Structure 1
Amino acid sequence: MKVILLNTIGKIGRKGKLIKVKNGYARNYLIPTKQALLATKENIELFEKNKIFKEKEESKKINHSIQRINIIKSIGAIVFFMKSSEKKKIFGSIGIKDIISNFYHMGILIHKHEIHLPKGLLRYLGLHQAIFTPYKNMSTTFTISILSK
């Protein structure tokens, strides 16, 4: 029996593949658990339309992410002015919310899951690197400069 997989299943196949399985396996497991659709002409056409739509949506997300990455690259560095001790340790720390707030004041909307601080909270004066990841494997680094007041 031919079926279209709706989920990736171990050694059987990846999501979206048209595969041939034994009749009992398809009727008793794959179709009732909504892991596969019977491969009729209508289902194949519907699945292809959905696949094309998802590819277009994916393309839009990638293009939007590239634009956002270019905006972040054009900024250069974000500057924070903080009170600090003589040992260059700032009073308090700078976290993801502070960085998002700084971007917001520049007119750029960023979500907290898109920023990653490799060394955790920033607690010392100087230059620090942060990673901006707007979509899946697309990322860029930007500089955070912390200066004393």
Structure 2
Amino acid sequence: MDIILLERVEKLGQMGQVVKVRPGYARNFLLPQKKALRATKANLAFFETQKAQLEAQNLERRKDAEEVAGKMKGLAVVITRQAAESGMLYGSVNGRDIAEAVTANGFTVERNQVAISDPIKSLGLFDVRVILHPEVSVNVKVNVARSLEEAEMQAQRGGMITAADLLADEEEAEAAAAAAAGEEEDTDNA
């Protein structure tokens, strides 16, 4: 089926191009989302008359999206989930969870704007692309951890925290506390 694109569609084409797509893709996605029109003589004529207006609207939406992308640059969100000792999640983190976390940070993002190919099924730091406009996207750092304290440690170390790391940190804290208590005893005795 031949269609006229009303906006840029990733891996398909630019606004105004006539492209051939499978009928189901056109009927179920492109036409209902108003991303395309059927390529008939009447629709081609209609597009030519509306082309300047469509381009102006697209330019305005793109400018707004670039403004938001500038504010979102470097955004990191924390998602807490239960996980096994090995770091595998009991469940997963999907696009809806990430969209809710970004929205909680003051940006309006729908789940279909989060470009995540597979759900996240382990603890750690992940870069996820958020598509604000067909021509504008921004990367968001997603920190999946068991708790906020663990998320801070992951952010500092730049990777997943294992049970052994938590144990080592606890031992260091206990050793530091013991050393501080030993110093206090020395000053009391003096």
Per the TM superposition, whether the score is higher than 0.5 is yes
2:51 match: 51
User: d(CA) in 2 for partners of 1:105 and 1:36?
Assistant: 43
Asked if residue 95 in structure 1 is aligned to residue 103 in structure 2, the reply is no
Structure that is richer in strand per residue: 1
User: d(CA) in 2 for partners of 1:36 and 1:124?
Assistant: 49
Structure-2 change in CA distance of 1:59 and 1:137 (3 Å): closer
Give the CA deviation at 1:94: 0.7
Residues 97-126 of structure 1, C-alpha deviations (whole Å, 9 max, x = no match): 1111112222211122211113x1111011
Residues 30-66 of structure 1, C-alpha deviations (whole Å, 9 max, x = no match): xx952555xxxxx9xx93xx33322221210110110
Output the amino acid matched with 1:102.
Answer: A
Output the amino acid matched with 1:34.
Answer: A
User: d(CA) in 1 for partners of 2:122 and 2:44?
Assistant: 54
Structure-2 change in CA distance of 1:94 and 1:36 (3 Å): closer
1:22 match: none
Structure-2 change in CA distance of 1:88 and 1:61 (3 Å): same
User: d(CA) in 2 for partners of 1:62 and 1:36?
Assistant: 24
Give me the TM-score of the superposition, normalised by structure 2: 0.51
- Deviating 4+ runs (over 4 angstroms): none
State how many pairs are aligned. 112
2:98/2:111 contact within 8 Å kept: no
Structure-2 change in CA distance of 1:35 and 1:122 (3 Å): closer
1:128/1:145 contact within 8 Å kept: yes
1:139 match: 137
2:78/2:145 contact within 8 Å kept: yes
User: d(CA) in 1 for partners of 2:85 and 2:44?
Assistant: 65
Structure that is richer in helix per residue: 2
User: d(CA) in 2 for partners of 1:121 and 1:106?
Assistant: 21
Output the amino acid matched with 1:64.
Answer: D
1:60 match: 60
Q: CA RMSD in A?
A: 2.8
Give the percent of matched residue pairs that are identical in Structure 1 and Structure 2: 14
3-state SS of paired residue (1:110):
coil
1:96/1:117 contact within 8 Å kept: yes
Alignment of 1:80-119 (within 5 A): 80-118=79-117
1:4 match: none
3-state SS of paired residue (1:84):
coil
Structure with the larger RCO, 1 or 2 (CA within 8 Å, 6+ apart)? 1
Output the amino acid matched with 2:59.
Answer: S
